[in-house]
Structure 1
């Protein structure tokens, strides 16, 4: 326990020091806010380490064979997980995962009572140092437990070291992505069976409630990719239209959220499929709207859509009828968003595909390629930067502005699609300007 307490006490002191100069969060400067947030992150991660070790001890003292002497039962709980969940406010499942993590990272004893190293010592050390949180550690431990029988202890130990090293500073979603890539490298023969398993879990359910159609889709990668790509392609096009010389404060301005635009994208795709000349794959499916002609002419009453319980207004029916005349645009006329201007003319499709292969999406935040544009690192007009891979990077709109507005530098290490992208923070963020990996290098095992 002492190995975990020293960093914990240091983390507490770090929070105290970063908070000491202001009386409450409202009085903190930007630099202080960042410092306090960083200190809280260290504190949470080191607290996780101590709590995991305590959870393992509670589980050990509450094992079933102790019967009435079980610590959890003596405290009035059925199990150590219930004890932890009740005292921390977490769910029983979260508490059970903490116990499992503690047992995997705490020192062990053999039948003779001799102390043995932890099952995953590298994970334990990283937690004790406050480098990774319990959620990331649990994901790594669960993966390694599954892989040990396939690749052996030695390879699993190498994977443990690599994962822990790269997981520091990543979000949980990025750690999961890193684990998925690592599993494919360690067990390439298992990729196809995993695909079969995911494909078997594919489903789409629909039901109506409160006048709304609810969709719940679970798609395997092959089925999900075209759906995601199409929706992600629609969203930035709509945002581009929003910015096209329109006043964002005007009463008629488009104020839809991203979630709402994504819903519109799904509708757009369905209308596209129903409106195309060839609908053989849809078995003649079409949308049937039933409305009284007099109501339609006078703009009163309501209408019904076959298969939908909720009645719709005459205004909605008129809009649906009008949409039927826009089929040439829906099916891909020149008005479809294909030419976004200067970037499209400068970076050829082949170059953009190469950037996509290298960066995997937004090189800074990881958004999918469909939500990015190819940008010059050295500006084409101001800095006469060339239009080639070494001077190009995929960035989403937000990260593009963030990097330019805050004086980040971008460095490309290597040549072609196997090059690595590095982001150098400005001195006011990191005085040492420590390079941060970008692109695929953040979560993938590339040379």
Structure 2
């Protein structure tokens, strides 16, 4: 048992080492704060791995067939999840997912009592050493369970290894993006069947309460794409106007939150549609861009994507969107290449920006949608004679653009076309080893 707890003891020792001599977190230097945060993260992940094993054990000892001998019922709880949630102070849903993770990664035996490896060995290994948190593992396992009904078992093991490798170092939100794209890539049935189910569930409720009009909507990706593009375009335009204001700190300056701007965007767009006397609201070039491979478009296979959304859409939906106004169909060849423009012009063209969105997916560093980014030169056009081509271009939001230049991050582009990757190299003050960090769409693309 002591050997089983070795990873946990190592994580505790690492935290002790960071904290040695400090009277509290406020006494730590910046470097120590980062080290402490890393140590706490590792400790938390390894505790979660151990707790998942314990949760699986509690669930096993609380099987329905045990009746009154169920461990959970003996402790006064209806289910093992309720027992665990009460102990942790978390939700029953979180406890249920913890049980699922522990069960899927526990060692097994065959009918003869001989030991067998866990159902998902790669996830189990990553959990044990602290590469994955329990919530991330639960997200990956849910996808693998869905795909296990549709693809070959040997392929499941291969996909499991890929998912685990790509998920290490990502946040839960980022892993969810990865899983969304991976499912579209893996599902042999394509996106159309699920898309029809989601489309049938689209809805918009409008009601009045507390002196306010409330809207509660749910839209499939194709139906929601124009809404997202228009609303985000309005928000982007308002932020641009705010940035260019002569007195941004004045009493009458625009201090609306993003949520307020979205509400105002919807009202302005509807008022314009009703034919009011006001001018059309500024949308900062809002356009729906649908991307699809030429092969998929002609054969009706695979799936398409909409800029600014992680949700896949079927090729048939892509065709319908492309036939409507305000939509640019971006059909991509084998290498998804759009011609470079060298130094003949300083600013990136619309075609080049579309190509950068294909590679970066939005802000290559933080993942904000394309509408909130600008195309920047990696090597400056004027100072460093950097060319205006794709190998020297990158999409960044304003915040990340300033962060990179102010803190001396480096950017490298590896490869060309659809297989190219963006790498961010941190300065020595952030990471003495300067370990490259993958950015752009490749960070979430299993097929990249």
**What TM-score do you get using the length of structure 1 for normalisation?**
0.83
Structure-to-structure mapping, 1:97-112, within 5 angstroms: 97-112=97-112
Change (3 A) 1:96 1:3: farther
3-state DSSP class of the match of 1:208? Answer: strand
Question: How do 1:109-188 and structure 2 match up within 5 A?
Answer: 109-188=109-188
- 2:420 maps to 419
Matched, 1:326 2:278: yes
Displacement of 1:99 in angstroms is 0.8
Answering whether residue 433 of structure 2 is matched by residue 432 of structure 1, we say yes
1:96–1:416 Cα change, 3 Å = closer
Larger CA deviation: 207-216 vs 29-38? 29-38
- The answer to which structure has the higher helix fraction is 1
User: Radius of gyration: which is bigger?
Assistant: 1
Q: Deviation at 1:184? A: 1.9
Unpaired runs of 5+ in structure 1? 276-323
**Aligned pairs (5 A) from 1:7-406:** 7-275=7-275, 324-327=276-279, 329-330=280-281, 337-338=284-285, 346-406=347-407
Higher relative contact order (CA 8 A, sep 6+): 2
CA–CA separation in structure 1 for the residues paired with 2:57 and 2:399: 46
- Secondary structure of the corresponding residue to residue 118 of structure 1: coil
CA RMSD of aligned residues (A): 1.9
- Partner SS for 1:147: helix
* Cα deviation, residue 445, structure 1: 2.6
Deviation of 1:245 after TM superposition, in Å, equals 4.1
Q: Give secondary structure in 2 for the equivalent of 1:213.
A: strand
* Matched positions, count: 390
The TM-score with structure 2 as length reference comes to 0.83
Query: Are the aligned partners of 2:185 and 2:447 in contact in 1 as well (CA < 8 Å)?
Result: no
* 2:432 aligned counterpart, secondary structure: coil
Contact 1:4 1:50 (C-alpha < 8 Å) held by counterparts: no
Distance 1:3 1:270, change over 3 A: farther
Gapped runs of 5+ residues in structure 2? 287-344
Structure 1 residue matching 2:68: 3-state secondary structure: helix
Cα 1:337–1:197 shift into 2, 3 Å: closer
Distance 1:217 1:2 in 2: 53
CA distance in 1, matches of 2:272, 2:19: 56
Native 8 Å contact 2:151 2:188 kept in 1: no
Residue 139 of structure 1: how far off its partner (Å): 0.9
Contact between 1:55 and 1:98, CA under 8 Å: does it hold in 2? yes
